[in-house]
Structure 1
Amino acid sequence: MNITQKIAILAGRVKEQMQHVVNEEATKNAMVMPFIQTLGYDVFDPTEVMPEFTADVGLKKGEKVDYAIKHGGELSILVECKPRTTDLANTQFSQLYRYFNCTEAKFAILTNGIEYRFYSDLDDTNRLDTRPFFTFKLNDYNERDVDELKKFAKPVFDVDAILSTANRLKYTNLAKTAFANLVKDPSRDFIKSLAQNFYEGRMTQQVIDDFTPIVRDAMAQHIKEQVSHRLKSALATTSGEEPEQVEINDSDNKTSQAAVEENNDIITTQEEIDAYNIVRAILADIVDPSRIHMRDAKSYCAILLDNNNRKPLCRLHFNSKSVWRIGLFIEGKEQKHDVSALTEIFSHREALSNTATSYIE
């Protein structure tokens, strides 16, 4: 089982156990230790993962950091844990800061069991940065996040390789945050600069105010259209098919145009893609994940074995804004179940496994 599948399983388990994790010790045992183990480190080997790592720092004696991870016998990563309910954005990590400055570790992680903030000394050598260069959230991650996380896995861990891209990653994430804020609340200067490209009148405050909601909506629509287009192309490529094309000719223009509009109404969402990956992770021990395909339609999104409509593993009814449902196939008949969070799909592991096994047999 690869890291992507392990992370998906851990995310599902954390979702189910979250309400029972009420303090720091429970956070360590139920969330942080399994996360470290997912990266390939043996949490029960004190020569590799040292709990309650102690070092005297200046006048501070006997202070401890929760975990110190060694790689190849060298101290590489320090981990400081906070209770699950902690908001890391408003958390001080003075112990981690002091320990990092006096050890040979090149990376430090601050976590509440769900969010993992990765730090290094990119700004000033041997001094821990005040901002993380990478953040991974178990309850909100994508394929690119997993690719970055894989760099910290024991089999491929390479300090120089991580540091070579860490600085770019740090500023890329900051730029993404700035862009998200710009889309949500574009500044006056940005509105003015953009509007000057198509508005020939005098740029007064009233004109800028009038254009603000227009520009905000235009940016949101453009992003949505680009994402939809890329997802359709990616899914078609993954299934081994050419992206669906609709030809238009003069003799049947109205019918063809209707087909185009219907095709454009199909939008594969990130939630559907995440659910598809969860199903692949669940069934990885039964069938090669490459045999599991996704085929989106207007009314539902089908997950199929061998891209065969006669072998449906499940259907995702995610188009409704009020409720999500997953359709499971029991003895050939679809049974729908409400889903309030994607991780609840893991609770249907048995039904999915039985369906996949029945097709294989």
Structure 2
Amino acid sequence: MNTVIIPKQAVGQLKKALDNFKLSEAIQMCSNEAQTRKFLIEPFFNMLNYQSIDLIPEFNADFGDRVSQKVDYAIKINKKEFILVEAKKYGSRLTDKEAGQLNGYFGNTKNSKIAILTNGAEYRFFSDVLEPNLIDSKPFFTFNIESYTENDLEALIKFDKRFINVQTIIKAAQHIVFIESFENAFFKELVAPSKDLLKIIHKNMTFVTKFNEETQGKMINLINSPFLKSMYDKKVLLESTSNSQGVITTELEIQAYHTIRTLLIQNKKIPKERIAFRDFKGFFNISVDDNNKKVICKLMFNNSALRIAIDNNEYILEHIDDLLKYKNELTNRTIQLLEA
């Protein structure tokens, strides 16, 4: 699979195009679906470098012997691959009914792995991660032209005609669905532990008891928020000390630490001696007072990506210099932790 390198300036160019787009004026001209297509949807894809020749309106979805049905658009990526687009009037609610309509087209267009449902403002991107030729119940990515973040732009640029790689996008979508599925299943076990889980834990306990209803009740009562937080702290500590190969702190991580530290101490409220780092297997923490309960940010650098997590937000970095974009967020987080 060929990896497409997206230039750093491409995101900036996309943002500029969106900023310059006269959205309010376009919305005022959208009183029906046809106008929504003309004034909102087509310009949106133009900003992603798809030209009129790439947007095939009223695309015939192959239903075999059944009556032919047409999807609003097919976006031609190359000679073999298409993105299907189902359009609704601006202001329309995008519901499961509309997604179901799109699903009918998707299942019968074999050379399409991505489908979009849109009302001109919100764009929901679907694929068939869970079951082939059947779009998933939830989109793997949603972009709203009226309200978006820098993170959204970094995801949207991957659909630009110049950079789009369907296999890479689907692989990322599969990863998103896998994580969500794992988190949901794990959370379900934490909220209402199954008998199977309790059996596994009981089997590994050194204190021998009968696996009866009383024992199960005690175990369930132990699985609460303070207990889980304590277990998390123990796991973090274990990961920091039990690497058989040793934790290898890279030059890039040290460079990132010094960059962030320099950004932070520009604020007089932040003492430089209180900013510390600790390297773990798979991630690198920058914290206040070297306290794992006061993490300013987490760096996750590997051969395929550079990522930074600040509080509950995660960002992809193209270069170390991208850290400068998050100065305010890093500073606010640090001051919050210092004052806690």
TM-score scaled by structure 2?
0.53
Cα gap change, 1:150/1:170 in structure 2, threshold over 3 Å: closer, same or farther? farther
CA distance in structure 2 between the aligned counterparts of 1:265 and 1:5, rounded to whole angstroms = 39
Q: Are 1:266 and 2:294 matched, yes or no? A: yes
Q: Residue 214 of structure 1: which of 207, 217, 222 is its match? A: 222
- Mark the runs of 5 or more structure 2 residues left unpaired by the alignment: 1-8, 241-248, 262-274, 279-286, 298-308
- Mark the runs of 5 or more structure 1 residues left unpaired by the alignment: 247-258, 281-287, 303-315, 322-361
Aligned to 2:134: 129
Superposed counterparts of 1:276-295, under 5 Å: 289-292=322-325, 294=327
Q: Residue 240 of structure 1: which of 258, 273, 292 is its match? A: 258
On the 8 A contact 1:67/1:80 being kept in 2, the answer is yes
On the 8 A contact 2:288/2:295 being kept in 1, the answer is no
CA distance in structure 1 between the aligned counterparts of 2:167 and 2:288, rounded to whole angstroms = 50
1:244: Cα distance to partner? 0.9
Superposed counterparts of 1:136-155, under 5 Å: 136-138=141-143, 151-155=158-162
Q: Are 1:86 and 2:118 matched, yes or no? A: no
Superposed counterparts of 1:1-361, under 5 Å: 1-3=9-11, 6=14, 25=33, 36=45, 40-42=48-50, 45-54=51-60, 57=63, 58-61=65-68, 63-81=69-87, 85-88=93-96, 92-98=99-105, 100-102=107-109, 104-110=111-117, 114=122, 116-120=124-128, 123-124=131-132, 128-131=133-136, 135-138=140-143, 151-162=158-169, 170-198=177-205, 199-217=207-225, 218-219=227-228, 222=231, 238-240=256-258, 244=276, 263-268=291-296, 274=313, 289-292=322-325, 294=327, 300-301=332-333
Residue type of the alignment partner of 1:182: E
Deviations 1:248-298 (A, max 9, x none): xxxxxxxxxxx9878445244867574x97xx9xxxxxxx7454454888x
1:136: Cα distance to partner? 1.2
On the 8 A contact 2:277/2:290 being kept in 1, the answer is no
Cα gap change, 1:239/1:161 in structure 2, threshold over 3 Å: closer, same or farther? same
Aligned to 1:312: none
Deviations 1:154-195 (A, max 9, x none): 223234555567656654543333234334443332234224
SS in 2 for 1:177: helix
1:102: Cα distance to partner? 4.1
% same residue: 21
On the 8 A contact 2:129/2:177 being kept in 1, the answer is no
Cα gap change, 1:262/1:318 in structure 2, threshold over 3 Å: closer, same or farther? closer
Residue type of the alignment partner of 1:219: L
Deviations 1:91-111 (A, max 9, x none): 652454235414633432345
CA distance in structure 2 between the aligned counterparts of 1:6 and 1:225, rounded to whole angstroms = 44
CA distance in structure 1 between the aligned counterparts of 2:106 and 2:256, rounded to whole angstroms = 46
Residue type of the alignment partner of 2:276: E
RMSD (Å), alpha carbons: 5.6
Matched residue count? 271
SS in 1 for 2:217: helix
CA distance in structure 2 between the aligned counterparts of 1:64 and 1:129, rounded to whole angstroms = 18
